[in-house]
């Protein structure tokens, strides 16, 4: 029609203004509220990053203590929500459970669904950040038939999650500090990433005035796809399928073949046309965890060699395809003991911080409008209805 800009996949459309996250994809830079991701991953905690994203500044000591305390007060789930788990098949994908349970939160926490009230918005945000580890861990426990573990608020955010996932009521659970640190790093690296598909979904859902629990459930649904959060699961499955370094050339050839839909999972990014800064931190973390766990997993060798071959291959150089955050995260999570089906659930857990921060930023904007993209209609022109027996 000429009236609209046609931009399928939103490759050149900014859908909003945001003060949260800055990415320079050509240089491989990622900043949260101005702070480089590698510095946050090395020196910060997940609670501190959550505070930074939500409130705009790094917290002072007292503010951090207060925020951590507030989050810890919300870690339990309404007891009746446990019934929801029992309604799922044991082999349900954790992301299916997460979509359902998180959406259902809006039926339980009515006192934090009035989006016009900033205090209610903040309570809903705290609840979501606090309850996600419990929800994800319970999805895992249900799948393996073990009792659900209640949160232990004397532990930190990551340690508590590890205990709820791998602990059992029959014995005390020791949090391994290297694993806890790795978990924290993974959470920080996944906390936000500006207007990716799931965050845009949360914003679009929220733009209609939908309650935050429903919006985050929409984000989880979008994240599930293999081109987005599902890529970490797909990347590990691919590394396992390759199995040994001698089979790498076969897979590289497939990735380059135009007639083969196969892609190297964990490679390439819409925005990064350089090394994803998160992938660098992830590689270091993978080495530390494998060493600590004494895991001699050949897939780590496959990953490292695949990376080297791809980085030196003309096809990948020309298309600027580099490892992304998902390339090494699966190796780490698998060494810690998570089944592949949990990987995307962990991504959702961490990204909840970004989702709620972005949602709050949008709702606080007095000029906020419902998101309503236009289209270029390519269907038939007007025609007259034909009764069924005359068609």
Q: Which residues are catalytic?
A: 269, 326
Among 112, 228, 233, 335, binds ligand CMC (CB under 6 A): 228
Taking CB under 6 A as the rule, does residue 231 contact ligand CMC? yes
Which range of residues in 27-35, 56-64, 266-274, 335-343 is near ligand CMC by CB under 6 A? 266-274
Q: Rounded CA gap, 239 and 83, in Å?
A: 37
Number of Cβ within a 10 Å radius of residue 144: 9
Q: Using CB under 6 A as the criterion, what x/- string covers residues 310-349 for binding ligand CMC?
A: ---------x-x--xxx-----------------------
116: buried, middle or exposed (CB in 10 Å: 19+, 13-18, 0-12)? exposed
Number of Cβ within a 10 Å radius of residue 194: 18
Among 27, 73, 110, 270, binds ligand CMC (CB under 6 A): 270
HSE-CB at 274 with a 13 A cutoff on CA atoms is 9
Q: Rounded CA gap, 146 and 131, in Å?
A: 19
Among 166, 267, 300, 328, binds ligand CMC (CB under 6 A): 267
Q: Rounded CA gap, 187 and 207, in Å?
A: 26
10 CA to centre of own chain: 20
- CA separation, residue 268 to residues 8, 59, 316, 325, 385 (Å): 19, 34, 9, 10, 48
Counting residues that bind ligand CMC (by CB under 6 A) gives 20
Taking CB under 6 A as the rule, does residue 255 contact ligand CMC? yes
Which range of residues in 141-149, 164-172, 222-230, 372-380 is near ligand CMC by CB under 6 A? 222-230
Nearest CB to ligand CMC, comparing residues 253 and 376? 253
Contact between 143 and 90 under an 8 Å Cβ cutoff? The reply is yes
Nearest CB to ligand CMC, comparing residues 265 and 289? 265
Closest approach of ligand CMC to the CB of residue 120, in Å:
30
Token pair listed for 3 = 């009236």
Q: Is the dihedral of CA 373, 214, 367, 32 positive or negative?
A: negative
Taking CB under 6 A as the rule, does residue 269 contact ligand CMC? yes
Closest approach of ligand CMC to the CB of residue 376, in Å:
19
Closest residue to ligand CMC: CB criterion: 268
Nearest CB to ligand CMC, comparing residues 78 and 254? 254
Kindly list the residues in this chain that would bind ligand CMC in the complex (CB under 6 A): 9, 196, 227-229, 231, 255, 263-270, 319, 321, 324-326
């Amino acid at each position: 029609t000429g009236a609209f800009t046609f931009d399928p996949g939103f490759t050149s459309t900014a859908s909003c203004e945001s003060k949260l996250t800055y990415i320079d994809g050509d240089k491989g830079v990622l900043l949260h509220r101005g702070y480089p991701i590698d510095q946050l991953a090395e020196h910060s905690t997940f609670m501190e990053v959550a505070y930074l994203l939500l409130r705009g500044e790094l917290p002072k000591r007292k503010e951090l203590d207060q925020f951590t305390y507030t989050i810890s007060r919300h870690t339990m789930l309404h007891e009746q929500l446990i019934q929801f788990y029992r309604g799922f098949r044991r082999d349900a994908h954790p992301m299916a459970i997460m979509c359902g349970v998180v959406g259902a939160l809006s039926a339980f926490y009515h006192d934090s669904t009035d989006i016009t009230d900033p205090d209610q918005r903040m309570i809903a945000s705290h609840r979501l950040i606090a309850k996600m580890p419990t929800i994800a861990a319970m999805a895992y426990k249900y799948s393996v038939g073990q009792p659900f573990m209640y949160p232990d608020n004397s532990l930190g955010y990551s340690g508590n999650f590890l205990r709820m996932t791998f602990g059992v009521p029959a014995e005390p659970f020791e949090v391994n500090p290297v694993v806890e640190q790795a978990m924290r790093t993974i959470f920080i690296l996944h906390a936000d990433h500006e207007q990716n598909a799931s965050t845009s979904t949360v914003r679009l859902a929220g733009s209609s005035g939908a309650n935050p629990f429903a919006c985050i459930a929409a984000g989880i649904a979008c994240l599930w796809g293999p081109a987005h959060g599902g890529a970490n699961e797909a990347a590990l499955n691919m590394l396992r399928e390759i199995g040994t370094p001698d089979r790498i050339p076969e897979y590289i050839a497939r990735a380059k073949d135009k007639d083969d839909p196969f892609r190297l999972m964990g490679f390439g990014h819409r925005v990064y046309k350089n090394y994803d800064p998160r992938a660098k931190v992830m590689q270091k973390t993978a080495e530390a965890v494998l060493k600590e766990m004494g895991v001699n997993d050949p897939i780590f060798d496959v990953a490292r060699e695949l990376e080297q071959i791809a980085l030196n291959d003309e096809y990948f150089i020309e298309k600027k395809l580099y490892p992304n955050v998902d390339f090494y995260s699966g190796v780490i999570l698998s060494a810690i003991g998570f089944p592949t089906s949990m990987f995307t659930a962990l991504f959702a857990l961490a990204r909840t911080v970004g989702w709620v921060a972005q949602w709050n930023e949008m709702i606080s904007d007095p000029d906020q409008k419902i998101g309503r993209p236009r289209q270029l209609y390519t269907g038939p022109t007007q025609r007259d209805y034909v009764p069924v027996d005359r068609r």
